[in-house]
Chains A and B, each alone.
Chain A
Amino acid sequence: MSSTAAVAAHGARAERSSPGFWRTYIFSEDHKMIGKQFLFMALVMMAIGGLMAMLMRWELAFPETQVPGFHWVPEPFMYDGAIPPNTYNAMFTMHATIMIFFVVIPILVGCFGNFLIPLMIGAREMAFPKLNMLSFWVGAVAGLILLSSFFATGGSAAAGWTSYAPLSAVAIYTGVDWGQNLWCISIIVLGVSSLMGSINYITTIVNMRTEGMNFFRLPLVIWSLFITAILSLLALPMLMTVLALLLFDRMGGTHFFLPAGGGEPLLWQHLFWFSGHPEVYVMILPAMGIVSDIIATFSRKPIFGYRTMAYAMIAIAALSWTEWGQHMFQSGMNPALAGGFMITTMFVAVPATLVTFNWLGTLYKGSIHYTAAMLNALAFVAMFVIGGMSGIWMASAPVNMYLHDTYFVVAHIHYVLFGGSLFGIFAGLTYWYPKMFGRMMNETMGKIHFWITFVSFNCTFFPMHILGMAGHMRRIYNPQQYDFLKPIIPINEFISISSFVLGAAQLLFLANIVWSCFKGARASENPWHANTLEWTTPSPPPHGNWPGTVPIVYRGPYEYSSPEVAEDFLPQSLLIKHSAAAAD
């Protein structure tokens, strides 16, 4: 083992990379710092997107009244605190755009992907550190472009995050001019950022695994990030192309989506969902990986069916390319196509069920420790079951005919994206926080945050199923304009009040992040007694990730409570005589 050479090389590297404030915190090439940069960018965006959600909920419960405390907002955004329809449309458009593209994806892929991949596969850095830095900064520019669109004449994009043409393609239809252009440009630029990240992740995972770390010794979170990176690499170029076509229609006089010039509005939906549906899975797969790792660690048991978990995630990713028509059952495309799309859509529930049962199997005969991270991971499982199964109704085209574009859909996406992805994010941040910041996150505050969030989340989003069953359309500004929705006004009010509690509870999480960063208990190398490689180095890890040599891997990531050792965990890098003999 050329350990001395490695230490010397690393020493030289560490010396080179202590270059002062700017290169350490701003233009950093260290994957750990870039991961944190993505995290902080996403947290700022989450506050903005969350605030918009609160304003929308106010409007839906108390339509066309003044929002308390918002009298200062200038016209035409608000009129003495009252929200006009244009602003409402802009808010749900931007809420979704921000939460999807600038919160969930940057945290799951940007933050966890960057921070965890080298540490968990035993690499000192990403394959392309400069590209990695560029990826973050291009992403930050995309965020600034999106935020700047609020100040464009006519306001920001207001055609929904799906921006169906022709509504999105002609300025007079929404009254939004540059706002929609900037929306397109922002997501195209963000796509460039994500592509750079994807190439980096794939290259790093394929080429830079440490000795002994073969593919079936990778933790499932790395599997999920690997699959996600491949999905993004394949889906994003197409998404960017579609957005460019929309931009040409808006600014270049083309008619790709405009029937007046021979274009086809449904082309937008086909192209958008063909690339957009895999993007939906980009938002859930890494959370599934995170939760798998956390459930195994705190059940002190191997994940149930490790290989099938990896195969199931691959199956979900592969099926995601066959399902786009499920969004278009009522769109006017040939109804005969619905038959095939119903089958493919139903089929994705098969691997999803498999992973869910495997999580339950992991709990079985475990020794479950209820940390804040574990509570959030378990909530993920329970909420993902609801979110996944509510999809079955919408996968049935005749039932979809009634439920499509109602609050049933809103409930479904929030059960998957909030109940799923966001609880996964809470779990992952709490779990890896000590490795990121060198201090433990406050458990009590974490548990209080969890319980308030869990209860208010369900009070907010579960009743939306009932709204959807009553026929409540999504994206309407004032439900009280409809006689058939008048009886459910109290449900809308209940949802809104719950959502205010839900929003306020997130301040607790932010406070915990900030407070623990300065006042949290110092974290040891391996506070959770976990097996994977990131726990074999100090918290936080130094430049180059391991002060000495990079660990060598002897076994899979989930050897908890192995009969081979007395402790209930067995790190991947620990050489025990018995297994060394077996390896020979």
Chain B
Amino acid sequence: MLEYLYLPHDISTFGPQVDWLFELIFWPVAAVWIAVMVAMVFFMIRYRARPGRKAEYIEGNPRLEIIWTTATAVILVILALMSRSTWADIKEHGPPGEAFYLVNAKQFNWEFTYPGPDGKFGEKGEITIENEMHVPVNKVVRIDLTSRDVIHSFFIPNMRLKQDVVPGHTIHVWFEATETGQYEIACSELCGFGHSGMKASLTVQSQEDYDKWLKDLYAHPPAPPASSSPATPATPPQGASPQ
């Protein structure tokens, strides 16, 4: 089970950058931690109280204090700046979208809206299903997130992607899956008594399989979700257009 003691298998294009930052932070932290613990334990043993020995009267050492303060500041600002560009790639801008979806969260289900056969939202033919998302592999997926009631959070562990879904806002996220397979989408912001178990399945498929699945869906549209109300905006949402 050792492989489960680390970050889960990554299937997104930006995931390796996130994991790289995770490891980048790990090394200085581990080095400092080991240094601090070794120094501390050494001092604790070496300078334990023994009869006849008096502690040395040392009030401080400004030069040392300046050195370790500056070193920390430099390392941390570098880490923050290195995080900055990855963050901008993931959350501020990204590649133009190739497949578009609307995701609406509500206590305690995810509604996934697929565009109609003409590839557009807001027209006849768009289909909404609950708790089941299918996306094509190696395509930039752009999603508009909305919530009907409280704050939820759209979390795909294998993508490293997390974004709160806030009522009154339309929030855009993107990802590109690199592997086909079956994954889980979870809600990671407390949203009420059904928060635990508010999840959906994510199927990443080859374009052909995906097209086939979508065709089947258009041919046999499921009944709309029981409590469904027109949650999708009438006009195509901004995030759903290529940037």
Contact = CB atoms under 8 A, between A and B. Distances in A.
Interface string A231-266: 000000000000000000000000000010001111
Contact of B61 (A305, A475, A483): A305
Nearest to A342: B80
Contacts of A363: 40, 43-44, 47
B196 interface: yes
B22 A382 contact: no
B86 A398 contact: yes
B104 to A, nearest CB: 14
Contacts of A401: 18, 87, 90-91, 160-163
Interface string A384-418: 01100100110111110110111000000000000
Given A381-B40, A396-B79, A471 B161 contact: no
A330 B164 contact: yes
B46 to A, nearest CB: 9
A223 B62 CA distance: 20
Interface in A284-321: 299-302, 304-308
A398 B21 contact: yes
B4 A392 contact: no
Given A160-B190, A330-B164, A353-B68, A300 B5 contact: no
A385 B41 CA distance: 14
Nearest to B159: A402
Nearest to B39: A360
B234 interface: no
B77 A343 contact: yes
Nearest to A85: B193
A332 interface: yes
A336 B92 contact: yes
Contacts of B47: 299, 363-368
A21 interface: no
A74 to B, nearest CB: 18
B55 A346 contact: no
A296 to B, nearest CB: 10
A283 interface: no
Contacts, number: 285
Interface stretch (A272-280, A436-444, A538-546, A561-569): A561-569
Q: Main SS of chain B's interface residues?
A: mixed
A11 interface: no
A365 B195 contact: no
Interface string B182-212: 0110111111111111010000000000000
Contact of A350 (B54, B72, B196): B72
A478 B17 CA distance: 31
Interface in A193-229: none
Interface string B46-59: 01111001111111
Contacts of B77: 343, 346-347
A353 B72 contact: yes
Contacts of B187: 473
Contacts of B199: 481-482
A365 B58 contact: yes
A392 B190 contact: no
A478 to B, nearest CB: 5
B61 A346 contact: no
A115 to B, nearest CB: 28
18 contacts: A167-B151, A265-B168, A304-B58, A308-B60, A331-B166, A346-B76, A363-B43, A364-B43, A364-B58, A367-B49, A368-B44, A389-B33, A398-B18, A398-B86, A402-B160, A404-B162, A479-B196, A561-B55
Interface of A: 84-86, 88-89, 158-160, 164, 166-167, 173-175, 259, 263-266, 299-302, 304-308, 330-332, 335-336, 338-339, 342-343, 345-347, 349-351, 353-354, 356-358, 360-361, 363-370, 378, 381-382, 385-386, 389, 392-393, 395-399, 401-402, 404-406, 466, 469-471, 473, 475-479, 481-484, 487-488, 490, 560-563, 568
Interface of B: 1, 4-8, 17-18, 21-22, 25, 29, 32-33, 36-37, 39-40, 43-44, 47-50, 53-62, 64-65, 68-69, 72-73, 76-77, 79-80, 83-84, 86-88, 90-92, 107, 149-151, 153, 155, 157-158, 160-169, 171, 183-184, 186-197, 199
Given A259-B167, A393-B29, 14 more contacts: A173-B149, A308-B65, A343-B80, A356-B36, A363-B47, A364-B58, A385-B33, A392-B76, A402-B7, A469-B5, A473-B188, A475-B195, A481-B196, A560-B57
